Structure 1
Amino acid sequence: MDLREFVAGTAGGCAGVFAGHPLDVVKTRLQSGTNALGANVVECFRKLFVKEGLKGFYKGILPPIVSNAPVSAGVFTTYGWALRQLHGSERQHEASLRDVAKAGFAAGVVSSVIVTPADLIKVRLQMDSKAKAPSAGAVAKSSNLGVLGETYGCVQQIVREGGLPNLYRGFKQTLLRETFSYACYFGSYEATLRSITPEGKQPSTWSILLAGSVSGLVVWGPVYPIDVVKTRIQACKKETPDTTWRCTQQIIASEGVKGLFRGFSAAMLRAVPVNAITFLVFEQVQLCLPQWQRP
């Protein structure tokens, strides 16, 4: 893995998290099936701001920020390794779209191992509508430590509920989401980039930004229902089944098929700026760094 790509990817990922987190909070609240903050993006956004202020839009931001570096390392390393196995090199612009998608699928497997605990903690924190840690008793005392205290308190509560393995609640659903989303992401990104870049020319920054935005939109279609099920399971309501099929059945029975797409508009609104900013920062940071050669 090129160290420049890792550093730039980490910076771009962090920028994307900050840019998209407010809509991610709204998406999670809508996915949970709770109508306390409204049934659509605009209503949820307005009520969230009135009830919790700007701070409410950044609940649970620490886990995705902290996990961004290892996720970037795991994804780019695995993606490069898979391309070498399938294509013979890491030059994705020269590989077939099938090989690109397969390499993305492999990257998703590694990503899910790192992302599951971070997503679980993030969801629990985002679901907390109070100005305190998302648990009662001794855990709530950590809220006076701010973001770090709330995050630590949330981890304590999750472990208390089911031991360390409980940090991987929702792993199967995350694995499904990550593998298919990365396959779609890298595949659609590369397909879009090739279609708008003249043959023999290097992709321009605007082409990369456009391709990244398109791929971000394409990703959510096939995986969004899985993401809704994952959120319901990780939110850990007593009435929620802990298997994908049973949870899906429950959602359809109580809310219809549209229940599997709660918060979809928030996810789509989030996809464009997140991917545009991620790739913009990625490109700019790469330009600022010295050229490190692979040993």
Structure 2
Amino acid sequence: MSKTVKDLTAGTVGGIAQVLVGQPFDIVKVRMQTAPKGTYSGMVHCAGGILKNEGPLAFYKGTLTPLLGIGVCVSIQFGALEYAKRLFAGQNSRLGLGGEGGKSLTGPQLFYSGVFAGLANSVVSGPVEHIRIRLQTQSNTKPIYAGPWDAIKKIYTGHGIAGLYKGQVPTLVREASGYGIYFLVYEKLVQREMATKGIRRDQISPVNPILYGAAAGYALWAVIYPIDMIKSRMQTDGFSPATGQKYKSTLDCVRTVWRTEGIGAFTRGLGPTLIRSPFANGATFLGFEMAMRVLDRL
């Protein structure tokens, strides 16, 4: 099995694990990000309202889209990351840098590998998250979309490819900056353990990818949360003034939210995100690392 196929397969396992663990927290985050100011007094109020009014299965509303889409997204992330890492390792080896085989990449090389992974991922993650957010925020009593495929069909029919990629500018900024930091933190922690203990990557305890993934997740959200909030606002906005469009552009969205809701709006919904992050990101890296170990034996 080729290295690229292994990377993509293991990434898919990590992505599925991420969705199953993180989806209930994500829907609370999105509802808080996109609701008018004062709708929810906090995370518990929001979660309680969903449970009371929509039932427990509502926490997995729109899950089919991310389960399929995020699986593909995380697969692309890890595939692109490992490809970039191999390119940098080959460059280091030719220059006699980076230790044995040039495999010990520098901080900037890991960051740029993460940026590349994020940009590659954004091609799929933009429309996947757009569809997911539309489904998560629509009314339970008068839904516009019957499901993910119906949403894709209606949005594409009415607004074309541009409609599916609504909110893509903040998505690109979020993915590039966020995944640069995300993979830098994770890989540096892995490098440190390997160097300190003199072990191979596949000898690291399965507990540690969970801990390192949790740390990487917190670093990610520390950088991207305000950008993510703007992305969510753009992806729930109307497609035209006739359909309730509030924001003319990403910059207009930033200015409008700042003027009308203040700086607090840029961190609304952060609570469920911080609770979700260690579980979802720990599950992602555990799934990836364990899958890679199994695939390497095939």
TM-score between both structures, scaled by the size of structure 1:
0.86
1:1-295 aligned at under 5 Å gives the runs 1-34=3-36, 38-88=40-90, 94-131=104-141, 134-135=143-144, 143=146, 150-197=147-194, 198-202=196-200, 203-237=204-238, 238-289=244-295, 291-292=297-298
CA deviation map 1:221-267 (0-9, x unaligned): 11111110010011014252142221011111111111011111111
1:123-177 Cα distance to aligned partner (Å, 9 max, x none) = 1000013156x31xxx6xxx4xxxxxx1122123312431232111111111111
Q: CA deviation at 1:68?
A: 3.0
Task: Return 220-229 or 59-68, whichever deviates more.
Answer: 59-68
The residue type paired with residue 176 of structure 2 is T
What is the aligned-residue identity percentage?
A: 29
The question of whether the paired residues in 2 share the 8 Å contact of 1:37 and 1:43 is answered with no
SS at 2:281 equivalent: helix
Corresponding letter in the other structure for 1:201: I
Contact 2:14 2:283 in 1 (8 A): yes
Q: Which runs of 5+ in 2 are unaligned?
A: 93-100, 239-243
Deviation at 1:87, TM superposition (A): 3.3
8 Å Cα contact 1:4/1:291 also seen in 2: no
Task: Tell me if structure 1 keeps the 8 A contact 2:115–2:179.
Answer: yes
Distance change in 2, residues 1:9/1:225 (3 Å): same
The alpha carbon displacement at 1:285 in A equals 3.4
Cα offsets for 1:86-114 (capped at 9, x unmatched): 33179896111110000110111111111
Query: Contact 2:211/2:282 (CA < 8 Å) preserved in 1?
Result: yes
Larger displacement relative to structure 2 (242-251 or 69-78): 69-78
Q: Secondary structure at the match of 1:95?
A: coil
Counterpart of 2:209, as a letter, is I
> Are residues 290 and 167 of structure 1, via their aligned partners in 2, closer, same or farther at CA, if it must alter by over 3 Å?
same
Taking the aligned partners of 1:153 and 1:161, their CA distance within structure 2 comes to: 12
Tell me the C-alpha RMSD between the 2 structures: 2.3
- Whether the 8 Å CA contact 2:15–2:72 is kept in 1: the answer is no
Distance change >3 Å, CA 24–CA 222, structure 1 → 2: same
The farther-off stretch of 123-132 and 76-85 is 76-85
CA distance change for structure 1 residues 124 and 8 in 2, over 3 Å: closer, same or farther?
same
How many pairs does the alignment contain? 279
